[in-house]
Structure 1
């Protein structure tokens, strides 16, 4: 589990503000589920989704997301991983491949998290931020994600990554504005 507890460039829970928030969210938490719920709801509800709110700058590192209080789903998942790892909860990054529109091409990746719960094992949760038509929650053992798989070229990618995918980091770091990210959303081709 060590890779899922480690500090890194993008999951930088050693940054003072991230570490302080992680301690504050853990204060008086009654067990692992309460701690995970607090961290999840903070990121889901207090960090605005960059595209939903058309907010710049484009963030990637957990500390940037917290500083600017905004991030795309990918960046928000980096902050959630940082807050949970800082509190000793193994946390990874997961992705879905979704249609950008109602159906069909183009497709893009959507970023979310998986946490290792002592009484459940790996459990996915999605802190992208709720809005009409999107209602994610922390409801173990049932998953309550922002998006369902709707068609054959969409996928729940099964991996739990310790670090963000390079294609995700590249898309965020190459973009100066939220419009740039939206025009160049990362994707992975499907293997037949």
Structure 2
């Protein structure tokens, strides 16, 4: 396993706002954040609860073979399904709505084959950024909320052609937004080619 990635990010305060995809102001997103925050007043425990809620309750499209395409936080929350990017959009929105800075980051996976982006979230806690992977667990891929060390679904092995991309984005990557907005079937998008650059 490789060592921790050095993330590059702006001022954490910049990662508290919302937009038309990371919808921190949407009533359903705010209601979920308020519910989780009421039960978890500590920032770290709230961020953990938000992570576990998304990881465990939002199904990954491929895992459940659901072709619906979701993009915005409210779409993901309503449908209960999405690709990794969409899951990350919801997690970032809920975490920000609860007052904890959260950004979007990516890995480039695919080994020596066709590369594609995998979406993650980074939260700012304990004075630093910590990547979390809400993709959902499956055999061989186990993600947990951790601040002491990363436990993401796809750790990059030394010498691998895969890459951890260090930037923590305030807004979703344009290539991800374009791909999801132009897709009619999430499963077909996975077969035909996911975005490979942010």
Task: Indicate whether the TM-score tops 0.5.
Answer: yes
- 1:116 and 2:127 matched: no
Residue 126 of structure 1 corresponds to which residue in structure 2?
A: 133
Partners of 1:4 and 1:30 in 2: CA distance: 20
Partners of 2:104 and 2:83 in 1: CA distance: 14
Superposed CA offset, 1:78-115 (max 9, x none): 0000001001101000100001xxx4111100000000
Partners of 1:55 and 1:90 in 2: CA distance: 31
Residue 23 of structure 1 corresponds to which residue in structure 2?
A: 34
Q: What is the TM-score of this pair, normalised by structure 1?
A: 0.92
Partners of 2:43 and 2:99 in 1: CA distance: 10
Task: Return the offset for 1:30.
Answer: 4.3
Partners of 1:52 and 1:84 in 2: CA distance: 24
Note the aligned Cα RMSD (angstroms): 1.3
Partners of 2:36 and 2:146 in 1: CA distance: 19
Gaps of 5+ in 1: none
Partners of 1:125 and 1:136 in 2: CA distance: 8
Paired residues of 1:15 and 1:63 also in contact (CA < 8 A)? yes
Mapping of residues 13-52 of structure 1, within 5 Å: 13-52=24-63
Mapping of residues 90-105 of structure 1, within 5 Å: 90-99=101-110, 103-105=111-113
Mapping of residues 1-192 of structure 1, within 5 Å: 1-99=12-110, 103-117=111-125, 119-150=126-157, 151-182=159-190, 183-188=192-197
Paired residues of 2:107 and 2:164 also in contact (CA < 8 A)? yes
Gaps of 5+ in 2: 1-11
Task: Return the offset for 1:188.
Answer: 2.0
Task: Return the offset for 1:180.
Answer: 2.4
Normalized per residue, which structure has more strand? 1
Q: What is the TM-score of this pair, normalised by structure 2?
A: 0.89
